[in-house]
């Protein structure tokens, strides 16, 4: 098996999904494990856009299968989902039954099944991988992908799709002792110390969403220490395409509770910039998303706006 080149070609053409679905026979059964795992999902027209938006956080491995065109490819899709589970959120397996979802296969221009592709930021980042790989080959491929992503500073993880842990009867908030040093530092006004404590937790466990969110908030506070709000706004008004000036005002808006304004400012900046400036603005916005929390409705709306700006 050869290592797949890691690149970022053009965005996926979704124009084929604009029409209502044509009448069709009953959908084929989902692949084994297709929607039952914590890190796998069966794709339909209803959730396709949402899954593409989830690729803004971490890679989505899309697998196209068909019992009619390639008997046995359903098992391959299940194998991909099983190996994806071992990655603990580093990627999400998205399984597409082309018999049940021909419009999606058409929009993605799928030439054959089975076929796998890796999507990040809503875009394919590898050449399509035709045919069925063994579980061992999948494990090696996903490990290589993880190494390439880490080398590029892409360390996001998907949240498990399984139901949340049961909530106890005790409504009192329980503070995890792991976060106590960082919270104590913030309470004492030691923002640099809080950043260091949260960074230590994230380095130890990149999947720790609470630590990542705390780190993002602490970094906003760190970046805005001693900054004059009026001067920052004047600088941003004078240089609308200056990424540093715009991200500073976005940070200040965040601290002032103007979350939607911060998101809108950076989405608009992403829409009108390109290359390194666009990447810098996008990465900053993703950091603000983490500070607010991925389940917040404002973040979900912001991700949709960001996807539109990028594509």
- Looking at 17-26, 132-141, 256-265, 301-310, which range is the least confident one? 17-26
Task: Give the number of other Cβ atoms within 10 Å of residue 238's Cβ.
Answer: 9
137-142 mean pLDDT: 88
Asked whether the predicted pLDDT for residue 294 surpasses 80, the reply is no
- Looking at 39-43, 141-145, 230-234, which range is the least confident one? 141-145
Q: Is the dihedral of CA 279, 281, 284, 289 positive or negative?
A: negative
Provide the pLDDT for residue 36.
56
Can you tell me the distance from the alpha carbon of 230 to that of 128, in angstroms, rounded to the nearest whole number?
50
Confidence of residue 145 (pLDDT cuts 50, 70, 90): confident
Provide the pLDDT for residue 25.
34
Provide the pLDDT for residue 180.
86
Confidence of residue 1 (pLDDT cuts 50, 70, 90): very low
Provide the pLDDT for residue 293.
81
The token pair that represents 98 in the structure block:
């082309």
Q: What is the pLDDT of residues 47-57, one digit of tens each?
A: 888 888 888 88
Strand pairing category for 115-120 and 60-65: antiparallel
Asked whether the predicted pLDDT for residue 7 surpasses 60, the reply is no
Asked whether the predicted pLDDT for residue 78 surpasses 90, the reply is yes
Instruction: Tell me the whole-structure pTM to 2 decimals.
Output: 0.47
The token pair that represents 110 in the structure block:
């799928």
Confidence of residue 148 (pLDDT cuts 50, 70, 90): confident
Strand-pairing partners, residue 94, are 41, 62
Q: What is the pLDDT of residues 100-128, one digit of tens each?
A: 999 999 888 899 999 999 998 888 888 89
| Between 210 and 102, the higher pLDDT residue | 102
Task: Give the number of other Cβ atoms within 10 Å of residue 8's Cβ.
Answer: 10
Strand pairing category for 92-97 and 40-42: parallel
Confidence of residue 66 (pLDDT cuts 50, 70, 90): very high
Provide the pLDDT for residue 176.
67
Asked whether the predicted pLDDT for residue 20 surpasses 60, the reply is no
Asked whether the predicted pLDDT for residue 137 surpasses 50, the reply is yes
Asked whether the predicted pLDDT for residue 175 surpasses 60, the reply is no
Distances (CA, A) of 91 to 71, 116, 145, 202, 220: 26, 13, 10, 18, 27
Provide the pLDDT for residue 89.
83
């Amino acid at each position: 098996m050869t290592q797949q080149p890691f690149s970022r070609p053009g965005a996926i053409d979704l124009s084929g999904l604009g029409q209502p679905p044509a009448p069709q026979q009953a959908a084929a059964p989902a692949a084994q494990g297709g929607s039952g795992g914590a890190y796998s999902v069966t794709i339909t027209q209803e959730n396709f856009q949402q899954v593409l938006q989830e690729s803004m956080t971490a890679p989505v491995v899309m697998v196209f299968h068909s019992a009619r065109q390639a008997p046995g490819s359903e098992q391959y899709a299940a194998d991909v989902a099983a190996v994806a589970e071992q990655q603990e959120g580093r990627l999400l397996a998205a399984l597409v039954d082309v018999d049940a979802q021909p419009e999606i296969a058409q929009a993605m221009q799928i030439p054959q099944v089975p076929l796998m592709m890796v999507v990040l930021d809503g875009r394919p980042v590898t050449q399509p991988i035709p045919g069925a790989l063994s579980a061992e080959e999948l494990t090696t491929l996903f490990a290589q992908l993880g190494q390439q992503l880490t080398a590029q500073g892409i360390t996001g993880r998907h949240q498990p799709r399984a139901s949340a842990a049961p909530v106890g009867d005790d409504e009192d908030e329980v503070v995890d002792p792991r976060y106590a040093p960082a919270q104590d530092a913030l309470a004492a006004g030691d923002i640099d110390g809080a950043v260091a404590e949260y960074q230590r937790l994230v380095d130890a466990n990149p999947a720790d969403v609470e630590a990542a969110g705390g780190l993002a908030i602490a970094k906003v506070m760190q970046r805005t220490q001693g900054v004059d709000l009026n001067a920052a706004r004047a600088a941003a008004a004078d240089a609308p395409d200056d990424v540093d000036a715009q991200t500073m005002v976005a940070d200040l808006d965040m601290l002032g509770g103007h979350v939607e304004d911060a998101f809108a400012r950076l989405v608009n900046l992403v829409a009108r910039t390109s290359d390194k400036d666009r990447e810098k603005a996008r990465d900053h916005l993703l950091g603000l998303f983490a500070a607010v929390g991925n389940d917040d409705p404002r973040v979900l709306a912001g991700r949709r706006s960001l996807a539109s700006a990028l594509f």
